[in-house]
Amino acid sequence: MKIAILSRNKGLYSTQRLVEAATQAGAEVDVLDHLKCDIVIEKAEPSMFYHGVKLPQYDAVIPRIGASVTFYGTAVVRQFEMMNVFSTTSSQALVRSRNKLRSLQILSSAGVGLPKTVFTNYSKDVKNIIQGVGGAPLIIKLLEGTQGSGVVLAPTRSAAESMIEALHSVKERIIVQEFIEEAKGQDIRAFVVNGKVVGAMKRQGGEGEFRSNLHKGGEGKRVRLSKEERATALAATRAMGLSISGVDMLQSSRGPLVLEVNSSPGLEGIEQATGKDIAGSIVKFVMEKVHQPSGIKTVKRNKKNA
């Protein structure tokens, strides 16, 4: 089996672990920088070149597409799909997951629990925007923010009004969400592969930090999901059309509330927190989808060898 991993950096933990797991399973693996893939579109014979050399026929592709290069990365995934290569994340689902507003609309339609959210076209009626999410404190998010960047907490009504007016004045697209106080700076990430939760961790923000992202200094610990949390993670993943996802949820008094469904979730934090071989689960899924027996056995990992 030939597998291509789309990644801009071979040295990233997630990329290295996927290469390791695929090699262990007996697959031939190439890591391709998707920004260096040249797409050739012609009648009945789509193809791609990499550093001037035509790419061989792969059995599967595992996209690791960063948010900043979604447009071109998605085009590369779409080209592989046209070449009849199985992709662990479809191009359509990738685009859908990167549009925060569209994602929330899809999840809402699917009946998934969400924080109250308001989006407007640079409305000057700021007071009603604030009231729409239950007042301050509240969260303001840039539509293009990732990994906790572009997310701010407005602790008071006056602060919220100033922030919203300032962002609208420079034509920044934002969403305003209610602040879930009982979450206490914690959230849960459930890692889903092929319709199963293969690992989950609770993330706690650093001292004085309301964002729990590991990139912002948060810490992750293994957690056992409740039945409702597990069902929510699976429902959110299905609604987004994803086979692999990281579903971020808040624990609230009215049940789990989904913040985001990540289509390229990192492996380092979840593997270190849970001690599970998440990369092995992904490769096993690939093997099953292309109807080849997997020689890999998923193993428990600990923090020392993670």
CATH code where residue 18 lies: 3.40.50.20
pLDDT in tens, 237-284: 999 999 999 999 999 999 999 999 999 999 999 999 999 999 999 999
Distance CA(201)–CA(260), nearest Å, equals 15
Q: Is the pLDDT of residue 75 over 90?
A: yes
DSSP string across 161-187: HHHHHHHHHTT--EEEEE--GGGTTEE
Q: CB count, 10 Å around CB of 36? A: 12
Distance CA(243)–CA(126), nearest Å, equals 39
Residue 155 lies in a domain: yes
The verdict on pTM exceeding 0.85 is yes
In the prediction, which pLDDT does 43 show? 86
pLDDT in tens, 227-246: 999 999 999 999 999 999 99
Average pLDDT over the chain reads 91
Same domain, 283 and 189: yes
Which tokens hold the place of 7?
A: 């990644």
State the sign of the Cα–Cα–Cα–Cα dihedral 235, 240, 242, 248.
negative
Which tokens hold the place of 67?
A: 């948010």
- What strands, in cross-sheet order, belong to the sheet with 47-50? 37-40, 47-50, 53-54
Q: Is the pLDDT of residue 304 over 50?
A: no
Same domain, 217 and 167: no
Residue 103 lies in a domain: no
* Mean pLDDT score, 138-149: 77
Which domain does 86 fall in, by range?
A: 2-91
- Please state, for a pLDDT cut of 90, what percent of the chain lies above it: 81
Q: How confident is the model at residue 147 (pLDDT cuts 50, 70, 90)?
A: low
Q: Which residue has the tokens 């840039």?
A: 142
